[in-house]
Each structure stands twice: as C-alpha cells, then as structure tokens.
Amino acid sequence: MGNLIIQNLLKKQNEIFLKKFIVGNKKRGKFYKENITINILSPGRVNIIGEHTDYNLGLAISVTVNKYIFLIGIIDNSNEVKIYSKYLNEHCKFSLDEIRYDKRTPWINYIKGVLREYIKHNYKIGGFSMIIDSNLPIATGMSSSAALEVGIAKFIEELFNLKVDKKDTVKYCNSAENNFVGVKCGLLDQFTVAYGKKDNAIFLNFKDLSYEYIPFNLGENTILIIDSNENRSLSDTEYNNRIDECKNAVKIISSITKDSRIKSLSDVSLDLLYRLEEKLPEKLFRRARHVVTENNRVLLLKESLLKGDIKKLGLILLKSHNSLKYDYEVSTERLDFLVDEVTKLKWVYGARLMGAGFGGSVISIVKKDKVSDIIEIMSKKFLEKFAEAPKFIECLPSDGTKRVDKT
C-alpha cells in the first residue's frame, strides 16, 4: 500500500512538472531530454528519544518515517533556479550569482542556503527547474526543513553528478540552516534524514557522529504522532537561547573544575552536576540537568528496544517529557494537555513532546489496533479544551533521502 501511494504521488508530480516546465519549453524550442529528470524522495524524521542533545554533543535515537517531501527537476541550461511549491502554491526564481536571504518567502531560504554551501565548497552547479510537493506536515516537529535541505542536496548531487561524502552532505545542510536561515540547530535532523534505514532506528553519538542501526520492531504497537496545531518557527522562539544557556553552563562548569576536557554538557556526569548545583545559576542548572539525564534516557531506551520492552520504553518517554517541561521549559499548554490525556488511555504506553518544543507535536507509542479509538477520544477532548481538533499521523520507519525512478 505504501509503495502504491508513493507511485501515485510521483506520477502526479511528473504530470505537473511536464505541464509547468516542459511543455512551455518545447514550444519555445528549448532542448529537453526526459531521461535527465531527477526524482527525489526525502522523508521526515521522528526522534524517539534524545531531545536538545545534538548541539550538546550527546546521544539520540531517531527514525525516518513514511511521510515525504517530493522533488522533481531538470537542468535548465541557465544560471537561474526556478521552483514551484505545489504544497504552498508558490513560485520562486533567483540567480545563482545573487543568493540572498528572502524575508518574503521563508521556505526558499532553506534551498538557497544549501546551494550557497555547495558553491562555497567549490562544487560546480548550474540552473535548474523544479517542482516540490509534500505529504509531510510543516512545523510539527517532524523536520520538514531538514527533509527539504537534504532533498535539495541529493537532487543537485544527482543532477550535476557531484561526488560528496554523506557526512559532508549532512554538514552542508546543517550549516545552511545555522548560517543562512538563522536556526542554531544541531545535526540530528539532517543526519537522520540522510542516513535513515527502513525498519531500523539510528543510535547516534553527536560527539563524533558515530552511529549504529537498531532493529525497530514495536510488534503489535505503532507510533502515533499528535499534532497540536500550534505552529512555530524555531528562528522566532527561545530555541537559540537554549543553545546559549547550555554553552554558558559549560563555561561555568569548566571554569569551576578547571577541567579543559569539559567541552560540552555531554562531558558532565550527573554526580558532578549535583555537586556543583549551588555554584550554578538555578536556570542553567536545570538546563544542564535535562541534557545530562536525557543522555542517560537514550541509553536506557536503546536497551529497551533491544529487549522489546515496550512498557519501559513508554515510561522513559514520559520522563523525557517532564524533563523538557520543567527543566528545559520548551513545552506548552497544548503539548502538556496531549501528553497528560493520551497517557490516561490503557492502550498507550507513553508519550512526550517531540522535536524542539514551543509547539508542534507529541509522539506516543500505542496499540496498533486501537489507533481509531485513541483518535476519537483525543479529538473530542482536545476540541472541548481548545475549540479545534488535533491532527494524527501514524508512522512507519522508512529509508532516508534517495533518488527514485519515475513510475
């Protein structure tokens, strides 16, 4: 069923591309070869555990899921980039000679930032025409921005036959979001989107970008994402402030201990942190406590996955949410309501806010055959509280960003 959905979406994408770019070019006598059309499938990601640990050089376990951004395009034989977003119904055109931040069209900056990174690293790219579509929700904590960035990177690597190490692809996309878009995110999103593997989770150490695949089998259970409809842009939230607070905590701890080996909060043990509690500003202590305990929760969840202990996995998610709520202060009334109410249901093992917070979604592990019941109950409760219904997304692990043949 999943492959059929993808095939139909790709077929529609190609039809739209043919109508918008190819027919007009043929009428104007422009050269076109159908076999140079590039199709890219770039998935969203669900972070199972390890929130705000990436920029603190810690640990995380995440999966890519079967919700995608679709990209199709061809070489344009010019120095211009022409893009149509079917998802947003917006057109954008710009020259590769003048890649400037666009305040009026925020989504195009993710693309511009990636192109600028490749140009900066001396890769030869030219103009192209492209259509983008998506069934991956935006601003829900499923990394639509990273899916777009890695998708664009894979597209130009295929289109211009660029030989790029995958870790460099991840770093270029991350730099684009950090330095062009203005969000100081870590590498979690881009790495997961690039390296995802069907039926597996990725256990990732951000200190050295070492990773391993863990079989991801929930048996009779599934992942259910609940979207709070509380959209947020990370560049407009406290996200960047959290990064600065963590850096300040590291500086103080390193200075007090006179230990030059402490370069991130992931170099700090829980025992050391509690010994320094009175010497740290209360807010910075709580920020650090979240990161240190979250790294420990990642290790516990890895063990639970390997043992197939779903009950323990659910409890770990709840502990993570409470830490994000009280110590890191990135939750919201809507996210707390969803976690509190969904975990009252006997078919739900655990839940927590997913992604950076400040809005977005909740991840829950639930009984697969009770998804419809959960949706009905939670829709009613949420509607009564907030006068609108949440959205629900049932997810399966998928492969990372890849080129796909037209169908």
Q: Would you say 380 and 341 are in contact if contact means Cβ atoms under 8 Å apart? A: no
Q: Would you say 197 and 191 are in contact if contact means Cβ atoms under 8 Å apart? A: no
CA distance 151 to 146: 8
CA distance 102 to 42: 23
Furthest C-alpha separation in the chain? 74
As beta bridge partners, residue 91 has 84
Token pair belonging to 96: 């590769």
As beta bridge partners, residue 90 has 85
CA distance 41 to 36: 16
> Which residues, other chains included, contact 147 with Cβ-Cβ below 8 Å and sequence gap of 6+?
42, 43, 44, 45, 68, 69, 136, 193, 401
> Which residues, other chains included, contact 301 with Cβ-Cβ below 8 Å and sequence gap of 6+?
48, 49, 61, 313, 316
Q: Which of 54, 133, 189, 227 is catalytic?
A: 189
Task: Decide if 189 is catalytic.
Answer: yes
Closest of 216, 281, 217 to residue 244, by C-alpha: 281
First to last CA, the chain: 15
CA distance 388 to 298: 34
> Which residues, other chains included, contact 108 with Cβ-Cβ below 8 Å and sequence gap of 6+?
83, 92, 94, 102
The residues annotated as belonging to the active site are: 189
